[in-house]
Amino acid sequence: MDKVIINDVAPRDGLQNDPVALSPAERVALIDGLLDAGLPSVEVASFVSPKAVPKMAGAADVVEALDLDRADFHALVPNRKGYELACASGIRSVGVVLSGTETMNRENINMSLDRATSVCAEVLQQARADGLGARAYVSVAFECPFEGVVPDETIERLAAVMFDAGADEVIVADTIGAGNPLRAKALFGRMVAAFGATRLAAHLHDTRALALANAWQALECGIRRFDSSAGGVGGCPFAPGAAGNLATEDLVSLLHQAGMHTGIDLAALLNVVSDLGQRLGRSIGGRTVPWLRRNLAAA
Ligand code: COA
Ligand code: ZN
């Protein structure tokens, strides 16, 4: 059976911009719930400036509370300082974030595109030398909230630099959810032709209700690794208009209906989503939740 690896980013991308701050202990409870539901991979934290992203404070406390043998855990690092803090926490895989435009890099990490490219490359090289997993987000694929359309060739070029620096995976990130199935087919097809499907992942946002349609295009292109977020929470604080991530339950529901295997127990995942909604003080969840609840209750 076709196997798809889902990396849940709710504890990081999901919570970094939420109005409600969850304590490290609450974030650990969320991560444990995701693992109990069968998630094989979770982005658990970001080692960023607490002034820039207060909701991610306590990243080391989160990592230190985890049983690191239980799953693949990743942390986002924007610079060398973040890398060093991440290393000290014991995490075994880091991800750098390189945006496709000048302005987005400046808004997000206060670096020019050139500087961001070289800092990301250095961190990846260091991670490889230290034996850590090294991943790279190439962000604002499709469109930048400040500069508009981002050419596919830019995303391919930046991904090539990240692979050359030692990235074992490049995550093509539609940070503001501006992709559509036609563009997704073109970009993912191009990336797979250039780098092979096994080294690529897709990170999609559902701003225009097209994340699932775009995910399908990535699947058709051969991609089998996805980021998504339990309950669909999330969005980048520095990208105006960024709405929720593709909800993990919507993606899993699609994959299971298509006969693909994820190892994820949807009933357990829905409990995690309800729990997270309670902690955030509002109702959350992907579009498939009402149907899933009826369906699972009847099963
Ligand atoms: N973790 C924690 N603190 C950090 C840090 C990191 N990775 N990098 C820098 N800092 C601290 C510095 O020590 C310094 O602290 P001080 O004011 O107490 O002396 C302060 O932050 C400023 O450092 P500087 O290197 O000048 O950073 P900056 O102001 O240019 O900001 C980033 C650059 C990358 C640190 C900041 O923009 C950031 O954290 N961005 C995160 C973006 C993000 O998470 N986006 C969403 C995910 S894509
Ligand atoms: Zn995102």
Per-residue pLDDT tens for 245-257? 999 999 999 999 9
By most ligand atoms within 8 Å of CB, the mutation choice from 47, 48, 53, 139 for ligand 1 is 48
Alpha carbon distance, N-terminus to C-terminus of the chain: 22
- Per residue in 132-188, pLDDT (tens digit) is 999 999 999 999 999 999 999 999 999 999 999 999 999 999 999 999 999 999 999
Cross-strand pairs, 76? 46, 95
Residue 155 vs residues 114, 134, 162: alpha-carbon distances, Å: 14, 18, 11
pTM of the predicted structure, to 2 decimals: 0.97
Q: Which residues of the chain have pLDDT under 70?
A: 1
Q: Known catalytic residue: 236?
A: yes
Whether 78 lines ligand 1, by a CB cut-off of 6 Å, is yes
Task: For residues 206 and 234, give the distance between their C-alpha atoms in angstroms, rounded to a whole number.
Answer: 10
Return the residue whose CA atom lies nearest to atom 29 of ligand 1: 110
Task: For residues 299 and 295, give the distance between their C-alpha atoms in angstroms, rounded to a whole number.
Answer: 6
227 C-alpha vs ligand 2 centroid, how far in Å? Answer: 8
Tell me the two tokens of residue 277: 């909604």
Task: For residues 28 and 225, give the distance between their C-alpha atoms in angstroms, rounded to a whole number.
Answer: 23
CB 6 within 8 A of CB 201: no
Whether 108 lines ligand 1, by a CB cut-off of 6 Å, is yes
